[in-house]
Amino acid sequence: FVLFLVAESHFYKLFYKLLMSKATPTHGLVKDPDLPVTADGVTYHLNCKSDQLADRILLVGDPGRVDTVAAYFDAGSVRFRSENREIFIATGTYKGTPVSVLSTGMGTDNVEIVINEIHVLKEYDFERSAWRPRAGDANVPAGVKVFDPSSVKMIRVGTCGSPYPDMPLAALAVTRHVIGMDNTCLYYKVKEEMQKSKDLQEVQRVVKEQTSLGAIDVYATKAHPAITNGIVAACKTFNGNLPAGAKEQLYVVGATATASGFYACQGRAVGRFREHLLAPKLVEELSKVQFDVSEGKEIVANIEMETSAVCFLSHLLGYQAGSMCVVVAKRAGAEHLFTTSEQSGQGLKNAIQIALEAIVALQ
Amino acid sequence: FVLFLVAESHFYKLFYKLLMSKATPTHGLVKDPDLPVTADGVTYHLNCKSDQLADRILLVGDPGRVDTVAAYFDAGSVRFRSENREIFIATGTYKGTPVSVLSTGMGTDNVEIVINEIHVLKEYDFERSAWRPRAGDANVPAGVKVFDPSSVKMIRVGTCGSPYPDMPLAALAVTRHVIGMDNTCLYYKVKEEMQKSKDLQEVQRVVKEQTSLGAIDVYATKAHPAITNGIVAACKTFNGNLPAGAKEQLYVVGATATASGFYACQGRAVGRFREHLLAPKLVEELSKVQFDVSEGKEIVANIEMETSAVCFLSHLLGYQAGSMCVVVAKRAGAEHLFTTSEQSGQGLKNAIQIALEAIVALQ
């Protein structure tokens, strides 16, 4: 009897998985170890074909959140699902517009994998066995459509800690500039325009001079302004549409610091590691810096583990990407707090709805 | 009818999950955002209590492999399971010795989380609300047992690519020295003995001088010799016990290069990223370097994404750790090849059995 009840509660999900599993080819033969893609066009980590991934993508960290996001898609619209390692994907529509949600797992190294494979899925033409041409390329073959990189739009929806003393718990930190404290993107040479950007130089200079990260080769990047502005507009609409008396979703636009770990890499001292921390005062230092950028004064809104690679690699490819994270840990100010699961749950629900509205509204 | 069949095939698994889920408390209230552990001693990412994790741990990258490993545990011995994000755990016994298998997910940033939380679970005394003393500590409270860090033993069992021209496909790359091309461990100050190690200096010097990674702040570390030797001994025993005519599991001991990504970070050029690669000849360069270390000449056996942090952070804590990876991509030599799923499947099966034998044999 117990068995029956357990099984029943999973009936729908299992049946669904069985149906969907047919749409998900698993690793076939890979020929080139430098570009591991199967003969039928499935990438190595994403386990997905070109036509199974939408141009508008929400990136979450936690594979468990892919289902949470897909629950907001139009009823019955999910046409593709896959699961491989920590990378889960669901593709459907939101208010009629095709959208995918994809979990990166934690860290910039995972994001590097995801953005490279999205690049393959969007721009490699498996029929012609050639990369799709873009406007401005030399020798575009006759009859072949050019690819517009700005059609790829991505918003990361994650969780984070905050060094900003006035940050409300469970507020959204919306990324403008990014401090790359990881080194994933150092393996990519920057574009000349990025090297010359006064704003990015300012971010790098201030971090180098005013924190203990002098010994780290910190890089700077930026969310695509259309994404940052789109998220802010969606936050305003979300709050404007709330029923009377409902609690507004607070948000703060600022810089995001991306770390290559969660503990010492974010200034957290654990047990015997305490004496080995390179930057034990990192949070306090980041709570004080201010960047003097084109948009005005910018504070560090949050610390997390993925945004630098999302924004940097997208920018190199001409894709539009940005990031918004629910603050689950307040690490500076009068009180240091962690959200209850109710608080972070509500923040994430709001964040998902705002992100979906933002991504389908983008031109 | 179809529903019934689907359900039936999952009966056992589901029932098991239901039973097990009671042993897995999910996030309760966390008080300190700098050390996110619930009041009942569950760590934030590992979702596990101290007595639910064995001292001997196999680390796999892919959460899907936790079940594969646990299938080799003593029948009916699995007493704990948990799943959170990409971190899955199963704890049971192998030939009577308690063992856990834990998936880190991909990347050194994930490993940083895992090792920090293993440190909490092993050495924080939740009853006394204090860190356990070690031999040699000042002021060990009377009646409190000291903790022996060498009781924590970890072997990473993963997959990797190889720059070594003579590496057989699906062979095991067994780690001796490690080239940290990520920056996770730069946030931890090294011990004096590591700074003074001639072998680690040699590894750093050769990489700096003979590859294009001059601009990257590469660090060096080493697997614990007891683990490296234990893996080699277990390989020999495994091959010695094979039935006549069965294929031997080949293995190569050497240095492991750990990357902070899979594509440009490992010298793979994808589409429009090609012109941005910092080190397009990385594999060729790594195929040529040789380290002149205490043990003799050492080649770079493999490139992967976790071993540097596993070895470096364990060494800081006095834990014993090492790594063995199945070569799924041969990236140098006469032929560049990717394993078929049969080849990598057989290699992984062998690797798991060898790792289990090695970890329970360690003194």
Q: Which long-range contacts (CB under 8 A, 24 or more apart) does A89-92 make?
A: A89/A46, A89/A47, A89/A48, A89/A52, A89/A53, A90/A66, A91/A52, A91/A53, A91/A54
| More confident of the two residues B24 and B148 | B148
What is chain A's Cα-based Rg?
A: 21
Q: Is the pLDDT of residue A13 over 90?
A: no
pLDDT of amino acid A334 = 82
Over residues A286-297, mean pLDDT:
98
Place of tokens 């003979």: B210
Residue B327, Cα to own-chain centre: how many angstroms?
Answer: 15
pLDDT of amino acid B35 = 83
Domain count, chain A: 1
Distance between CA B69 and CA B48 in Å, rounded?
18
| More confident of the two residues A2 and B142 | B142
Over residues A222-242, mean pLDDT:
98
Poorest-pLDDT segment among A44-48, A115-119, A300-304, B89-93: A44-48
Name the B residues in 110-149 with CB < 8 Å from any A CB: 110, 112-113, 116, 119-120, 123-124, 131
pLDDT of amino acid A23 = 35
Cβ contact A260–B35 (<8 Å): no
Q: What is the DSSP letter of B34?
A: T
User: How much is the mean pLDDT over chain B?
Assistant: 91
Contacts of A6 in chain B (CB under 8 A): 11, 14-15, 18
pLDDT of amino acid B28 = 59
Neighbours of A201 (CB within 10 A): 13
| More confident of the two residues B363 and B31 | B363
Over residues A35-63, mean pLDDT:
94
Question: Model pTM?
Answer: 0.92
Contacts of A8 in chain B (CB under 8 A): 7
* Contact between B314 and A272 (Cβ < 8 Å): no
Q: Could you list the residue range(s) of the whole structural domain that residue A339 is in?
A: 2-361
Place of tokens 């300190």: B32
- Greatest C-alpha distance within chain A: 69
Cβ contact B112–A29 (<8 Å): no
pLDDT (tens digit per residue) in A102-133: 999 999 999 999 999 999 999 999 888 899 99
Residue A257, Cα to own-chain centre: how many angstroms?
Answer: 13
Task: Tell me the CATH number at B279.
Answer: 3.40.50.1580
| Chain B interface includes A186 (CB < 8 A) | yes
Q: Which chain B residue shows the shortest CA-CA distance from A64?
A: B85
Place of tokens 């750093």: B204
Token output for A20: 């969907």
Poorest-pLDDT segment among A27-41, B80-94, B127-141: A27-41
Give how far B220 is from chain A: nearest CA, Å.
16
pLDDT of amino acid B113 = 98
For chains A and B, count residue pairs whose Cβ atoms are closer than 8 Å: 273
Tell me what ipTM this predicted complex has: 0.92
Neighbours of A189 (CB within 10 A): 16
* Contact between A58 and A88 (Cβ < 8 Å): no
Name the A residues in 218-257 with CB < 8 Å from any B CB: none
Poorest-pLDDT segment among A25-34, A99-108, B130-139: A25-34
pLDDT of amino acid B6 = 36
Over residues B256-261, mean pLDDT:
98
pLDDT of amino acid A28 = 60
* Contact between A256 and A174 (Cβ < 8 Å): no
Q: What is the DSSP letter of B289?
A: -
pLDDT of amino acid A331 = 93
Judged on CB neighbours under 10 Å (0-12, 13-18, 19+), A94 is: buried
pLDDT (tens digit per residue) in B265-277: 999 999 999 999 9
Poorest-pLDDT segment among A34-43, A102-111, A213-222: A34-43
Which of the four pLDDT bands, split at 50, 70 and 90, describes residue B19? very low
Poorest-pLDDT segment among A8-22, A285-299, B20-34: A8-22
Token output for A250: 């607070």
Short-list A281, A325, A302, CA closest to A166: A302
Picking from B10, B107, B329, the nearest residue to A107 by CB comes out as B107
* Contact between A167 and A289 (Cβ < 8 Å): no
Picking from B61, B120, B263, the nearest residue to A270 by CB comes out as B120
Torsion over CA: A150, A67, A29, B267 (sign): positive
Is residue A37 helix, strand or coil?
strand
